[in-house]
Structure 1
Amino acid sequence: MKVIHVDMDQFFAAVEQRDNPELKGKPIAVGHDAERGVVSTASYEARRFGVHSAQSIQVAKRLCPQLIIVEPHFQRYKEVSAQLHKIFHDYTDLIEPISLDEAFLDVTINKKGIELGVDIAKEIKQRIFETTGLTASAGVSYCKFLAKIASDWRKPDGLTVIHPDRALDFISQLKVEKIWGVGQKTAEKMHFMGIFTGADLRSQSQQRLTEVFGKMGQVFYNFARGIDNRPVISEWERKSVSCEQTFEKDISDQSAAIIELYHTVLELERRIAKNEFEGRTLTLKIKFQDFQQITRSITVEHILHTKDDILPLAKQLLRQIEFHSHPIRLLGLGVSNQRGETEDEKTRWIELELEFEDWPDSQL
């Protein structure tokens, strides 16, 4: 299999700088400038000061006093994303979108009959620049895991190929933080076990990794050996519909929590109708003031369609949570569990890409 991973460079920030020449060369962060605002994307000029995505806007401004906060324009980003996919489809229809600004392409058999994946990646990068004025980075390899890592390797405007013959050597030198699925907590656990590189990870037995990391242990075991058999999936079935909101001020009052819960239910009802989704499991997601996060779920026999179906269950789940002395920072609701799903799928909280232009209160 020949896989290309295309990832736009500083996408939201790049679009803003392209559309507003006064922002070019300046440190900007795309996000909502509020007490609880979060950086969605930072320009490379801002990143030199330590500003990065998912960071508090207030922290970002302290790190970079000259930082310019730009409100997001999601319709523009969607329009550019549509341009990207039009280019992708000139080469293959096996396209798996990851977000607005990145996707996997299976070019094993491609429409132009180009033999080398690297040549396709070069063409795509050039056409993206000619069409949008923006740069993209691309990774080429024989599987999704390595193509993803390769696209991050020489950002911005990079192109990296990881050949099968060199894959194990490449992975051996890789820091575990770069491995797909290894977040901060997992990395800390791995470091405690003496695992710092791909080579260290490869030295661990399958049994040991599974004991410590559960199902992900098998994934890490395979990744360390360059094994990733996941296909590029161009069509997928929606597993859940969800929405969430971060509050400007933490909530510890029951009446305030019920009001916010009600508004979240209304938004969830709208999204269920828009996506024609049928699910039976409602999941409440709560993030507290100290960033501790919990979920509570309930499954019923009937389809959850309307506010009248969802609100009583949401209130029931909220009553299970003590938040008077543990204020709530974020509240989210999701519906999942379609007919025929496995038990694992019923209980999994799946966060999908939010349609932000329709959810202005979300803190990015």
Structure 2
Amino acid sequence: MIMHIDMDAFFASVEQRDNPDLAGKVLVVGGASDRGVVAAASYEARRYGIHSAMPMFMARARCPHLVIVPPRKQRYSEVSRSIMAILDDYSPVVEQVSIDEAYLDAAGCQRLFGPPEAMARAIKAEIRQKQALTCSIGVAPLKFLAKIASDMHKPDGLTVIFPEEVAERIAVLPIEKVPGVGRKARQQLSRLGIRQLGDVCRFKPVQLTERLGKFGHRLMELAQGRDATRVTVHAPAKSISSECTLPADTRDRGVLRRHLLSQSQEVGRQLRRQGYLARTITLKLKQSDFRQLTRSFSLTRPSHASETIFRTAAALLDQQSLETPIRLIGVGASALVGDTTPQQVSLFESREHQATGWEKVDRAVDRITARFGQSAVHRGSLDPPEDIGRD
């Protein structure tokens, strides 16, 4: 049996726990400006139809007395680590998939903690006792069903799907509940008359793969009660990114580069903290008409130097015409490899290799900010936009 542990309204719940005056308030975590978005909504806020990723101006319109709290990423990460440490005490096979959710393989743990349902109740009780937070847990013999089950009775829920119930649950499971079924896939499946996962079994695999590609094959497997994915310990990160919605739409390259520099420093800091080098740097832009652009560049030598990330992202920005004002900008690092991976040394110096000289500076800044906070030191060029990118 596999468990999916999902913290309830995590960011908002941490804020309400840390500040008792916020308990019971209609609260969201996110940027306070109308251009911001909701990062998390308390269950009190959800009763007003407010949810994560909603524009803040819409959230305010739905609830005039809405309480908006700025996010505290370091605090949430700290609490998350404590919760994952609790899970590690129950099973050696724990896969953290985000800051507030994880899978746990309960195989072989019955002698210590009893059957999976009793084990899940013990986990919920310990998280409540040690962290004063609630979580919802789904237990099932298949990984995808465990995730679906954890969402069935939120908040503070516990749902167990026993092996003999799998076929019955799958037959009536709404297709939009299946992980991976997005808007486009749902439209394709609707044209085929597929409303529930069990309906998939009426079709041949080739009919689904013609419409949905490889995902059609996986959908058929899930409909037949087969899920080959397993709980994987310490699944490596696929990418690290930082982005923000701008206070005002702009075509000012100086303003955009200043945000890129700050974001590159954050991405570099996360890469170094997690022990990764990135082969690919991606620039993300969202225009005032909400059309999104992404541009990527693959480095000849993987890096976690903030300077390399910034120079690459800035060069990608320079290639854009910016005919339409920009409302959101971001930097991403992907194609990650461990920072102990051997690298081919070039015989010739390049700007990319010159930038790696900043790594010693990065490490020193990392030590300072870890001790005194991220506002303790930063690049001087974060202040005067005209100096950004100069040597």
TM-score (ref. length: structure 1) = 0.84
- CA shift at 1:51, angstroms? 0.4
CA distance in 1 between partners of 2:15 and 2:308 (Å): 41
Q: Is the 8 A contact 1:92 1:111 kept in 2?
A: no
- 8 Å CA contact 1:252–1:328 kept in 2: the answer is no
User: Displacement of 1:61 after TM fit?
Assistant: 0.9
CA RMSD in angstroms, aligned pairs only = 2.6
**1:190-228: per-residue Cα shift (whole Å, max 9, x none)?**
334432221233333322322222332222222222221
The Cα of 1:311 is off from its aligned counterpart by: 4.3
Asked if the contact 1:241/1:268 (under 8 Å) is kept, the reply is: yes
Structure 2 residue matching 1:127: 3-state secondary structure: helix
Find the counterpart in structure 2 of residue 51 from structure 1: 50
How far, CA to CA, are the matches of 2:303 and 2:40 in structure 1?
35
Q: Measure the CA separation in 1 of the matches of 2:231 and 2:137.
A: 16
Secondary structure, aligned partner of 1:230: coil
% identical aligned pairs: 39
CA contact (8 A) 1:254 1:324 kept: no
CA apart distance, 1:125: 1.3
Q: How does 1:110-149 map to 2 (within 5 A)?
A: 110=109, 112-149=111-148
When structure 1 is superposed on structure 2, of 129-138 and 315-324 the one drifting more is 315-324
1:182-193 correspondence runs (5 A) = 182-193=181-192
Deviation at 1:148, TM superposition (A): 0.6
| 1:237 equivalent in structure 2 | 236
- Across the two proteins, how many residue pairs are aligned to each other? 342
Whether the 8 Å CA contact 1:243–1:334 is kept in 2: the answer is no
Does the CA contact (< 8 Å) of 1:253 and 1:324 recur in 2? Answer: no
Change (3 A) 1:93 1:48: same
Segment drifting more, 4-13 vs 298-307: 298-307
| Structure 1 contact 304–335 (Cα < 8 Å) conserved | no
Given that 1:143 and 1:228 are in contact with CA atoms closer than 8 Å, whether structure 2 keeps it comes out as yes
Judge which range, 141-150 or 234-243, deviates more. Answer: 234-243
Shift of 1:47: 0.9
Deviations, residues 226-283 of structure 1 (Å, cap 9, x unaligned): 2212111112334443322322222323443334334333433333333442233222
Structure 1, 173-182 or 104-113: larger mean CA deviation: 104-113
Question: In the alignment, is the contact (CA less than 8 A) between 2:239 and 2:332 conserved in 1?
Answer: no
Answer whether contact 1:244 1:264 (CA < 8 A) is retained: yes
Structure 1 counterpart of 2:59, which letter? A
Distance 2:43 2:310 in 1: 44
In the TM superposition, residue 319 of structure 1 has moved relative to its aligned partner by 4.3
Cross-structure match for 1:153: 152
Partner of 1:180 in structure 2?
A: 179
Structure 1, gaps ≥5 residues long: 341-356, 360-364
Q: State which drifts further: 4-13 or 47-56.
A: 4-13
State the match for 2:348 in structure 1: none
Tell me which residue corresponds to 1:92: 91
Q: Report the alpha carbon displacement of residue 328 of structure 1 after superposing the two structures with TM.
A: 4.3
Secondary structure in 2 aligned to 1:280?
Answer: strand
Bigger CA radius of gyration? 2
Secondary structure of the residue that 2:126 maps to in structure 1? helix
Give the match for residue 331 of structure 1. Answer: 330
Q: 1:156 to 1:187 in 2, by over 3 A?
A: same
Normalising by structure 2, report the TM-score: 0.78
Aligned to 2:383: none
Could you tell me how far apart the structure 2 residues matched to 1:225 and 1:322 are? Answer: 50
In structure 1, the partner of 2:102 is: 103
> Over residues 110-148 of structure 1, what are the superposed CA-to-partner deviations in whole Å (9 max), with x where a residue is unaligned?
275344211111111122222222222111111210111
Q: Return 5+ residue gaps in structure 2 as ranges.
A: 342-372, 376-391
Q: Are the equivalent residues in 2 in contact too, given 1:9–1:155 (CA < 8 A)?
A: yes
Q: Which amino acid aligns with 2:99?
A: L
- Deviation, 1:307, is 5.1
SS at match of 1:40: strand
For residues 137 and 335 of structure 1, what CA distance do their matches in structure 2 show?
Answer: 31
Q: 1:90 to 1:274 in 2, by over 3 A?
A: closer
Distance in 2 (CA, whole Å) between partners of 1:74 and 1:268 is 14
Aligned counterparts of 2:326 and 2:289: Cα–Cα separation in 1:
9
Higher relative contact order (CA 8 A, sep 6+): 1
Kept after mapping to 1: 8 A contact 2:287/2:324:
no
